[in-house]
Amino acid sequence: GHIARPGDAVAALVKVSEKEENWILAEVVCWHPAQGKYEIDDIDEEQKNRHVLSKRRVVPLPLMRADPRTDEQALFPKGAVVMALYPQTTCFYRAVVNRLPGSASEPYEVLFEDSSYADGYSPPERVAQRYVIAIKEGKGRAT
């Protein structure tokens, strides 16, 4: 599989509390091949936590943007359930693709799963392509 390089942006599954884990935006510090673990820094200025995580808890963010005109299969289809970076935060949450980017530079439009809304989803939010990733089912789903 692809090994992210130092400085690469990744989504990382970190423990927030005894019972809760969150996918956060982080930066690779280094890869330890012997242990098969990444060392990563939380991107959030307030937190600035360093974590050592196994490879399966780290998802490298795409470096390239897909152009829907030439590379449609590289995009998530409408209705796909994804992980997307919530606007103004450094956390990824489950969301449903509502509208695909019209060009390589355009964002996705997604609906975040949000139980505070009647239908269970937030109003449409725009999220840059590189911050929309396939869901990796973590063991730590809050129950």
Per residue in 33-44, is it b (16+ CB within 10 Å) or e — as a string?
Answer: eeeebbebebee
Q: Are 95 and 83 in contact (CB under 8 A)?
A: yes
Please measure the distance between the N-terminal and C-terminal CA atoms of the chain and give it in whole angstroms: 31
* pLDDT (0 to 100) of residue 17: 86
35-65 per-position pLDDT tens digit: 999 999 998 877 678 999 999 999 999 888 8
Which residue segments constitute the domains of the chain, with CATH numbers given?
9-60 (2.30.30.140), 72-134 (2.30.30.140)
Position 2 confidence tier, pLDDT thresholds 50, 70, 90: confident
The confidence score (pLDDT) of residue 72 equals: 79
Examine the pLDDT at 87 and tell me if it is beyond 70: yes
Q: Would you state the structure tokens that stand for residue 12, as one six-digit string?
A: 């990382």
pTM attached to this predicted model: 0.86
Does residue 74 carry a pLDDT above 90?
Answer: no
Handedness of CA 94, 96, 97, 99 (dihedral sign): negative
